[in-house]
Amino acid sequence: MKPTATPVDATLGATITGVDLANLDDAVWAFIEKAFLEHALLIFPDQNLSAKEQVAFSNRFGDIEILRGNSKSVKISNEKRKGATFKPDEFRFKALRGNEGWHLDSTYMPIAAKAGVLSAKVVPSEGGETEIADMRAAYDALSKAKKKRIQGLSAFHSLYASQAKIGHIVESGSGYGYHTKGAPLRPLVKTHPVTGRKALCIGRHIYRIPGMEDDEAVALVDELIEFACQPPRIYTHHWTPGDLIIWDNRCAMHRARPYDFSESRVMQATRIAGEAASELAPTFPDERAGAFEPATTNR
Ligand SMILES: [Fe+2]
Q: What is the pLDDT of residue 83?
A: 81
* Helical H segments across the chain, by residue range: 26-39, 51-59, 91-98, 135-141, 144-150, 159-165, 214-228, 276-279
Cα 96 to averaged position of ligand 1 atoms, centre (Å) = 9
Asked if 204 contacts 101 with a C-beta cutoff of 8 angstroms, the reply is: yes
Return the DSSP state at 25: -
- What distance in Å separates the CA atoms of residue 75 and residue 78, rounded to the nearest whole number? 9
- What distance in Å separates the CA atoms of residue 218 and residue 90, rounded to the nearest whole number? 27
Cα 5 to averaged position of ligand 1 atoms, centre (Å) = 24
- What distance in Å separates the CA atoms of residue 146 and residue 152, rounded to the nearest whole number? 12
Low-confidence ranges of the chain (pLDDT < 70): none
Cα 115 to averaged position of ligand 1 atoms, centre (Å) = 10
Cα 1 to averaged position of ligand 1 atoms, centre (Å) = 32
Cα 256 to averaged position of ligand 1 atoms, centre (Å) = 8
Q: What is the pLDDT of residue 78?
A: 96
* CA nearest to 226, candidates 203, 192, 247: 203
Cα 254 to averaged position of ligand 1 atoms, centre (Å) = 6
* CA nearest to 139, candidates 35, 233, 207: 233
Give every CB contact of residue 57 below 8 A, 6+ residues apart in sequence: 21, 22, 24, 49, 117, 244
Burial readout 215-249 (b: 16 or more C-beta within 10 A, e: otherwise): eebbebbeebbebbbeeebbbebebeeebbbbbbb
Q: What is the pLDDT of residue 69?
A: 86
Amino acid code (one letter) for 181 = K
- What distance in Å separates the CA atoms of residue 195 and residue 291, rounded to the nearest whole number? 38
CATH superfamily of 4-284: Clavaminate synthase-like (3.60.130.10)
Q: What is the pLDDT of residue 82?
A: 83
Cα 255 to averaged position of ligand 1 atoms, centre (Å) = 7
> If DSSP states are collapsed to H, E and C, what string results for 256-296?
ECCCCCCCCCEEEEEEEECCHHHHECCEECCCCCCCCCCCC
Cα 245 to averaged position of ligand 1 atoms, centre (Å) = 13
Q: What is the pLDDT of residue 215?
A: 96
Asked if 217 contacts 209 with a C-beta cutoff of 8 angstroms, the reply is: yes
Cα 102 to averaged position of ligand 1 atoms, centre (Å) = 8
List, for residues 54-79, the tens digit of each pLDDT value: 999 999 999 999 998 889 999 999 99
* CA nearest to 138, candidates 10, 255, 288: 10
Beta strand 113-122 with 244-248: parallel, antiparallel or unpaired? Answer: antiparallel
Asked if 167 contacts 141 with a C-beta cutoff of 8 angstroms, the reply is: no
The predicted model scores a pTM of: 0.97
Cα 100 to averaged position of ligand 1 atoms, centre (Å) = 9
